[in-house]
């Protein structure tokens, strides 16, 4: 064990990583992926828990990969490069919402939380779940094609100022995705007003 008589028993995250031959971030991502249980001596892992994980190091390493997790923009670029599709950050977020991708880590900057994704998992999705990726991209494109941009929607409803239209749209519960509103929703508003 890497602890001395004067420190707490068990392993902290860095010590567990060293024990397993992993990097500390791989342990953190392994926890997010459910491959490593929560510390049993909170906030540390006991020697028994660490020993039980020793045989799992290769599986953890294979699942989380050798590259540190990346944000939405880089994840979209990685999926686009491997899948040959026009993938944007919103598509990555949609895959996460559907459970196709797992958020590997989060970081906070300027009071906002940002999701990070494991490159190894992104590669697996591009290779093994290309259909799910293509469906998300197709759904986004279909929404945009069938909708009106914020500016066009405001004009169609007779609003000269987009900010006022956006307040109205929110008040009426209009759904906006990818900077577009559904034409059918806008047509229903025009019918109600007519």
* The pair of three-digit structure tokens given for residue 16, joined into one six-digit string: 């567990």
Distances (CA, A) of 173 to 145, 166, 182, 189: 21, 10, 12, 11
How does DSSP assign 38-88, residue by residue? PPTBTTBB-HHHHHHHHTTHHHHHHHH-SS--B-HHHHHHHHHHHH-S---
Mean pLDDT over residues 36-56, rounded? 93
pLDDT digits (tens, 9 = 90+) for 177-186: 888 988 888 8
pLDDT value at 190 more than 80: no
Which has the closest alpha carbon to 19: 6, 36, 33?
A: 36
pLDDT tens, residue by residue, 48-91:
999 999 989 999 998 888 999 999 999 999 999 998 999 999 99
What pLDDT is attached to residue 158? 86
Whether pTM > 0.85 for this model: the answer is no
Decide if pLDDT at 116 tops 50: yes
pLDDT (0 to 100) of residue 185:
83
pLDDT at 3 over 70: no
d(CA 189, CA 157): 8
With a cut of 70, say whether residue 5 has pLDDT above it.
Answer: no
């Amino acid at each position: 064990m890497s602890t001395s008589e004067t420190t707490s028993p068990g392993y902290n995250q860095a010590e567990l990583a060293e024990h397993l031959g992993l990097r500390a971030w791989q342990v953190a991502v392994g926890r997010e992926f459910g491959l490593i249980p929560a510390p049993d001596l909170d906030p540390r892992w006991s020697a028994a828990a660490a020993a039980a994980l020793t045989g799992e190091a290769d599986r953890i390493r294979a699942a989380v990969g050798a590259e540190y997790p990346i944000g939405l923009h880089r994840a979209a670029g990685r999926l686009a490069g491997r899948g040959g599709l026009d993938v944007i950050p919103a598509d990555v977020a949609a895959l996460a919402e559907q459970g196709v991708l797992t958020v590997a880590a989060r970081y906070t900057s300027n009071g906002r939380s940002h999701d990070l994704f494991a490159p190894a998992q992104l590669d697996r999705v591009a290779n093994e779940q290309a259909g799910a990726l293509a469906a998300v991209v197709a759904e986004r494109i279909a929404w945009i094609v069938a909708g009106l941009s914020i500016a066009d929607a405001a004009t169609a409803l007779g609003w000269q100022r987009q900010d006022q239209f956006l307040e109205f749209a929110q008040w009426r519960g209009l759904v906006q995705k990818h900077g577009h509103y559904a034409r059918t929703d806008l047509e229903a508003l025009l019918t109600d007003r007519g």
